[in-house]
Amino acid sequence: MAFSSRRGGWAHSLLPSSNSKSKIPRKGRKRTFIKDFFLANFFTIGLSLSIIFFLFVTFRYGVPKPLAFKSTNSRLPKFRKPVPRKPISPEVASASGAAVDITTKDLYDKIEFLDKDGGPWKQGWVVNYKGNEWDSEKLKIFVVPHSHNDPGWKLTVEEYYDRQSRHILDTIVETLSKDVRRKFIWEEMSYLERWWRDASSTKKESFINLVQNGQLEIVGGGWVMNDEANSHYFAIIEQITEGNMWLNETIGVVPKNSWAIDPFGYSPTMAYLLRRMGFENMLIQRTHYELKKELSWNKNLEYIWRQSWDAQETTDIFVHMMPFYSYDVPHTCGPEPAICCQFDFARMRGFMYELCPWGEHPVETNQENVQARALKLLDQYKKKSTLYRTNTLLVPLGDDFRYISIDEAEAQFRNYQLLFDYINSNPSLNAEAKFGTLEDYFHTLRDEADRINYSRPGEIGSGQVGGFPSLSGDFFTYADRQLDYWSGYYVSRPFFKAVDRVLEQTLRASEMLIALLLANCHRAQCEKLPTGFAYKLTAARRNLALFQHHDGVTGTAKDHVVEDYGTRMHTSLQDLQIFMSKAIEVLLGIRQEKSDQTPAQFEPAQVRSKYDIQPTHRVINPPEGSAQSVVLFNPLERTRNEVVMVVVNRPDVTVLASNWTCVKSQVSPELQHDKSKIFTGRHRLHWRASVPAMGLETYYIAVGFVGCEKAKPAKLKFATKSNHLPCPAPYSCSKLEGDTAEIQNRHQTLTIDVKLGLLQKISHKDGLQNVVGEEIGIYSSWGSGAYLFKPTGDAQPIIKGAGQLVITEGPLMQEVFSYPKTTMEKTPISHSTRIYNGEKNSIQEFLVEKEYHVELIGQDFNDKELIVRYKTDIDNSRIFYSDLNGFQMSRRETYDKIPLQGNYYPMPSLAFMQGSNGHRFSVHTRQSLGAASLKNGWLEIMLDRRLVRDDDRGLGQGVMDNRPMNVVFHILAESNVSSTSNPVSNPLPLHPSLLSHSVGAHLNYPFHGFIAKKPQESAVQHPSRYFSPLASPLPCDLHIVTFKVPRPSKYSQQPPEGSRFVLMLHRRKWDSSYCRKGQSQCSSIADEPVNLFSMFKGIAVLNARATSLNLLHENTEMLGYNEQFGETAQEGPVIISPMEIQAYKMELRP
């Protein structure tokens, strides 16, 4: 029951009072008989019509499933429609950005970052109160017991489950069942699902009862509590959906409150996704201690988070930020940890936890000490409440892996109940305290905010919840104390950050193929392959989801835990690739009947032998007179014309299209990071491939095929001090003369410094030049660890000579490969710079490909952090833009008042600089890293880090398990052709160009190649084999996030009207001041509606309805979308506003 009941209600406001008297004179009875009858029976008639309508709707659509979180005090949420300050069109709204009270940029501009000692609350101030603050509205305290369970950190997820988490869940069920006043919240579904498999039916029933009566709330309900710096938005959606769907199917609830106490900084992408999943409230904790202090001082710790582009207030979500250093008990009851620690009763002697480091320890509460103890605790509660606007207070009660035993749980519940009873029995204290859930807290807070106006004069606030400021921006880079900035984890374990993305793109492609197989399936026989794979598909989804944990993709776990994550991802990658190899056979019509047990005729073009080894190219070696087929799958929504590469054993090969026509190709030697043997003896074969949207295309690599010219050998140029570089056959080689060298295509010329092997500048055919000034350097960092980046001084350049330089010049691909001499005995890096000659105006022609092979291995590199730096001529005033989760951009500004490490930011997929003249320099990456702009025109990106020491954040080790790896960047130099936005004066983030979006999509969603296991005689020419499922390519700014069947194992049991397919679309926002280069295949943008019913070729769409991003809500108004979203989906044509992601449940038939 809430602390104060709401006054009035719908009955009070709509029904007339019984003593109301009419003062209107009566008219003639004859003329008004019907009217009088109608008025006299108005209520009865209305009720009858309502019942008839209700029965009709129930009969027509069935009884709706209860999806909202069940709780004894649950209420129907109020989804107030946003009220824009003025009528505003989406186009204008999109251009102007959000109007808010606070931006994180404003906070950074204002705060001095002096780290003043605040006394007992070291990072704040001495908090006091007058005592009359609760006279008119008593203090309502919710103490929320919780246990933070990391799915992997110092132990693997299975080790933690076995030793701790299963006991915690057992304890919760037993102790909460003893007393209805006890409450608890649980977050991670990875552990709950594992416990559910082991739990008895009695325990499961008790658990469900506790959830249903509001004692136990599932908060967040994702598979894990995901990281928000490195995780891609695709993976975040996947992990939340996996947890939420399991929860709904198993227990029958859907969470509406998010709990994220441990991610190391927070992204607005998360706020957007949660809002579009039907969440109402968020809680966060780890933000910069100086930001906490500033927000606390102004009572702005609770706010409405709004996306920076959202001028219509459709993305608003309520946020509670915790004010203190940590989420443990000493830092949650109030501002004085020495006192709060005395109320962590699990620290009493006899328990396994450390005693209070401040010297005073908790003691058992009894009748003799309860008054003094309760008043001492209440004093902390009252001090904490002064940091917030309302008199509703949240006090978490827990820590990592707490409540592991009945004795521990009883100690907390027993002692606190005695303290609550004392507080509640003394009305003069103006306070009421009880155990609560997040829902109890947010429900009561919203009730209070409805009754009392807490808005400040001139405050923009939100139409969603009154009384709180609106805020936009992100919370990176996190610092928890002094100069300790958590920017190291943006880069830690980069090898596995790369594997994460490969698993993402492979899972997405596999989901597409499953959906296409089932959509094209005429009979039950062809359902066997996708439905038989369902178990491994679920495992792959969950292994990807598990790695999004804030100690997984972050690279902040113990070595053996990293190995466990890596092995899980490796296993799933192999499973998915084997499935895809079989799926393409069915879609190409090679074999009609195919089950999961039948061996595949194809194998992936790239293969990984072990979880921690780079993939290698499978070598194609067709015998004389034969051809080996290569099938390419294009996972993007538009036809792709791209230069592709495979590795062959012999150079005298020919490439043929699926209709056996000749395809021009180029052959060049394969290179490697080996000073003594740069050439492997194998060859790279390049050709221009064209693959339809979401489709398949076949090519043949033939030997001895008459009628087509063989692949053209590239010309090689060498620059080396030593003369031991042999010229490999059948290539012509020459010595490189001069200090610079050039490679070029029809759009750009690259100039290379031959002495250092580094990229100097990019010259464009229109005469423009971009200085690039590539530099490779190393930081020495004696204080860095897995989490923290703490360099001792600036990075020092390490390249002192070109070492060995090989230039490859061919008609399709040109490359400069450098194995440089460095200041270290062992060279930690070699790198290639490439440009392509694709189809005219293809996307590939406008980019520069940089591939760095990194081996930060051995004692020489202890406490070293390797970077690449581009020292351009762009006048960016140390402002740059980096992406958040691959979804949106954030403006970054380098501040002198914070140290170097605090000016480093996450770069999950893109960073760019823009000058006042509109010149833009962009770097796209296929894995998450860290980036900074420390001097004007400079963009630096960290590649790897090797650290001996622990950084005192609990891990207990450094990062020494480096693996050889390749980091690939696609660089784009653009100049705008219309208006120029000045980064210095414009506080809003800029958006990538349309070309830049396409470059990023091609890098992050590459072709999936498959090679036939056996060659075929080239004399026997099979019919053309390709697959093209889309009726036409989608608009250039529309991206298919996922196209899948959520539950393939239940596919045949689900009724077709149940909409068994899901299509999720994202409309990218792009900077229209940059010309639409590289868009020869680009016919439209998404200003015009896209008709879902005519998207596919040969597949009928029977129905389509809008749904939330976690696929569990179909009331689109509660998700914040505009009204048309839900209505138009059923008719077919849909319009998506820029930046929005929209999901549709569909039913497809051949």
Active-site residues: which are they? 262
Q: What angle do CA 549, 555, 557 make, to 5 degrees?
A: 75
Tokens of 589: 């019509």
As a whole number of angstroms, the distance between CA 777 and CA 799 comes to 8
End-to-end CA distance of the chain: 53
Reference 1013, options 609, 622, 594; nearest CA is 622
- The CA–CA distances, whole Å, from 71 to 178, 183, 582, 760, 768 equal 18, 12, 47, 64, 64
Tokens of 471: 């805020």
Q: How large is the greatest C-alpha to C-alpha distance in the chain, in angstroms? A: 118
**CB of 264 within 8 A of CB of 299?**
no
As a whole number of angstroms, the distance between CA 1067 and CA 1040 comes to 9
As a whole number of angstroms, the distance between CA 899 and CA 477 comes to 11
- What does DSSP say about strands 929-932 and 938-946: parallel, antiparallel, or unpaired? antiparallel
Cis status of the peptide bond prior to 72, with omega within 30 of 0: no
- What does DSSP say about strands 302-305 and 317-321: parallel, antiparallel, or unpaired? antiparallel
Three-state DSSP at 455 gives coil
Burial status of residue 307 (CB atoms within 10 A of its CB: 0-12, 13-18, 19 or more): buried
Q: What angle do CA 835, 838, 842 make, to 5 degrees?
A: 100
HSE-CB for 392 with a 13 A CA cutoff? 24
As a whole number of angstroms, the distance between CA 438 and CA 183 comes to 10
**CB of 941 within 8 A of CB of 868?**
yes
As a whole number of angstroms, the distance between CA 192 and CA 169 comes to 8
Output helix, strand, coil percentages for the chain, rounded to the nearest 5: 25, 25, 45
Instruction: Look at the block and give the residue holding tokens 């190899």.
Output: 581
Burial status of residue 831 (CB atoms within 10 A of its CB: 0-12, 13-18, 19 or more): buried
For 292, phi then psi, to 5°, come to -60, -45
**CB of 618 within 8 A of CB of 647?**
yes
**CB of 276 within 8 A of CB of 1141?**
yes
For 87, phi then psi, to 5°, come to -60, 135
Question: Which stretch of DSSP H or E encloses residue 242?
Answer: helix 233-250
As a whole number of angstroms, the distance between CA 815 and CA 667 comes to 12
Tokens of 86: 């003025």
**CB of 246 within 8 A of CB of 202?**
no
Three-state DSSP at 291 gives helix
